[in-house]
Structure 1
Amino acid sequence: MEAAVRPRLILREREPVVPVGIFAGIAVSNYESALGWYKQLLGAEPTFYPNDTEAVWQLAEDRYVYIIENADRAGGAVSMIWMDDPGSAVAGIAERGLRPVGVEQHGNVCKWVFHDADGNETGIGGEVSEST
Structure 2
Amino acid sequence: MALDLFAGIPVNDYPAALAWYEKLLGSPPTFVASDSEAVWELAEHRSLAIEHRPEHAGHALHTVFVDDLDALLAETAERRLQPARRETYSNGVRKATYVDPDGNEIGFGGAPL
Q: TM-score range by the shorter chain?
A: over 0.9
List runs of 5+ in structure 1 lacking aligned partners: 1-17
Structure whose residues are more often helix by fraction: 2
- Report Cα offsets for 1:62-116 as digits up to 9, x if no partner: 0000000010000000001110001110110010010101111112210101000
Q: What SS does the corresponding residue of 1:20 show, helix, strand or coil?
A: coil
- Equivalent-residue separation in structure 2 for 1:128 and 1:39 (angstroms): 27
Query: Structure 1 length normalisation: TM-score?
Result: 0.82
2:47 is matched with 64
Q: What SS does the corresponding residue of 2:55 show, helix, strand or coil?
A: coil
Q: Which has the higher contact order (CA 8 A, sep 6+)?
A: 2
> Are positions 1:121 and 2:90 aligned together?
no
Q: Following TM superposition, where does structure 1 have runs of at least 4 consecutive aligned residues deviating by more than 6 angstroms?
A: none
> Are positions 1:39 and 2:22 aligned together?
yes
2:84 is matched with 101
Q: CA deviation at 1:35?
A: 0.3
Select which of 16, 23, 34 maps to 2:6. Answer: 23
Q: What SS does the corresponding residue of 1:72 show, helix, strand or coil?
A: helix
Query: Structure 2 length normalisation: TM-score?
Result: 0.95
List runs of 5+ in structure 2 lacking aligned partners: none
Q: CA deviation at 1:125?
A: 1.1
| Residues 86 and 128 in structure 1, CA contact (< 8 A), matched pair in contact too | no
State the identity %.
43
